[in-house]
Amino acid sequence: MTLPADAAALLDENAGNPVDREGLRMRVNDALADFLDRQEAVLSSISPRLSDASTALRDFLLDGGKRLRPAFCYWGWRGAGGATGSDGIVAAAAALELLQASALVHDDLMDRSDTRRGLPSVHRRFEALHRTSGWRGDRGQFGTAAAVLLGDMLLCWCDELFLRCGLEPSAVLAAKPVFDVMRTEVMAGQYLDVLEPVAGGSMGEGAAERALAVVRYKSAKYSVERPLQVGALLAGAGPELVEAYSAFGLPLGEAFQLRDDQLGVFGDPTVTGKPAGDDLREGKRTLLVALAVESSPAADARILDDRLGAPDLDGDEVERLRGIIARSGAAEQVERRIDALLGQALEALEAAPLADGPARDALRSLATAATVRRY
């Protein structure tokens, strides 16, 4: 999900202080750049032919992402009483960006997406490299292989950066089980996402519930809840705060993904970095689509069910499907759900036993930024 520019400022630790402009996003970017420098030295020692891979990973990671997950991890740490100036928590939080990047590289491949954040997706980038280099063989297969391997490398690297973040080993070990289950959850959610179009049958009874399971495990938990809990455990938090972060983070993460689903159908490409209606081309069986099928006349529901994700879906048909969804009232239903989830999250935040006042304010602002209506 792409946040608007004004919301991005909320991710900076010192956004409200005009004297100190060294914010959290910059610190995370620096931690990632330092880590990539070390990893590029390893890759270059293996073979100079890995330079294209190194460059692609650097471009993908340092392209100006909003660093939402590191922000929740950092402020989860602060809310548990963690120190302000710790470089260790910044490195640990930056490891979440490596996990996010791995998921995005694989997600784009599975969805056959051409772009990510307005640039070619990784598999398309390596297809183009194959073509321009005049190499032999199937360029599509080469792009697929490169994306799988580079996504796997990022997944390995997230573990490496987390374990070597510089915090006390006992603190890292305390947080590691949540870090591990977070990675299992996102992969399981991704599998449920690709399973639904092929095994879910026609969208009808149970489709909305299955869509919500994908929302929870593919995105919501690893976007907000788990980063908060990892940060808290790194700071030595007890079970009360960890549970309070779940009460705040899970509904907020679900609202965040539902906003992303709205943008995937109705979003402005200049905001989302992806073509308009891309989720319809990719056949995403989101809650928005499930509710549209439930709420539409039989003829419209049949068209939406039959044509969603069709290989020959053209621009005119995308507009037709968007029109069916708009007429169904599903977007309004999802908006109401986002509002309710945000309210639930903010209520839980007010009750959370935070050790740091600025953390509560920062998390409240992040909640608004993550769910702001922006098309």
Domain boundaries, the chain: 5-371
Q: Are 180 and 226 in contact (CB under 8 A)?
A: no
CA atoms within 13 A on the CB side of 359: 24
Cβ count near 32 (within 10 Å) = 24
pLDDT at 18: 30
Q: Are 81 and 355 in contact (CB under 8 A)?
A: yes
How far apart are alpha carbons 346 and 249 in whole angstroms?
A: 9
How far apart are alpha carbons 27 and 31 in whole angstroms?
A: 6
Tokens of 188: 């399981």
pLDDT at 118: 78
pLDDT at 373: 56
Average pLDDT across each block of 10 residues of the chain; the chain has 375 residues. List them in order: 45 41 82 97 97 96 86 96 93 97 95 86 97 97 98 98 97 98 96 86 79 93 97 97 98 95 86 75 91 94 92 91 95 96 97 92 93 69
The enclosing H or E element of 152 equals helix 139-163
How far apart are alpha carbons 101 and 97 in whole angstroms?
A: 6
* DSSP letters for 78-140: HHTT--TT-HHHHHHHHHHHHHHHHHHHHHHHHHT-SEETTEE-HHHHHHHHHHHHT-SS-HH
pLDDT at 272: 67
How far apart are alpha carbons 112 and 309 in whole angstroms?
A: 11
Q: Are 283 and 195 in contact (CB under 8 A)?
A: no
Tokens of 212: 């919500």
How far apart are alpha carbons 87 and 230 in whole angstroms?
A: 16
- Cross-strand bridge partners of residue 116: 119
How far apart are alpha carbons 226 and 178 in whole angstroms?
A: 7
pLDDT at 241: 98
**pTM exceeds cut of 0.85:** yes
Does domain 5-371 sit in CATH 1.10.600.10?
yes
Q: Are 374 and 94 in contact (CB under 8 A)?
A: no
How far apart are alpha carbons 253 and 359 in whole angstroms?
A: 18
- With the CA atoms of 299, 302, 303 and 309 taken in that order, what torsion angle do they form, in degrees rounded to the nearest 10? 170
* DSSP 8-class letter at 49: G
pLDDT at 352: 97
Tokens of 329: 């009232």
How far apart are alpha carbons 2 and 21 in whole angstroms?
A: 22
By the 10 Å C-beta count (0-12 exposed, 13-18 middle, 19+ buried), 90 is classed as buried
Phi, psi dihedrals of residue 273, rounded to the nearest 5°: 80, 10
Phi, psi dihedrals of residue 312, rounded to the nearest 5°: -100, 20
pLDDT at 17: 41
How far apart are alpha carbons 73 and 352 in whole angstroms?
A: 16
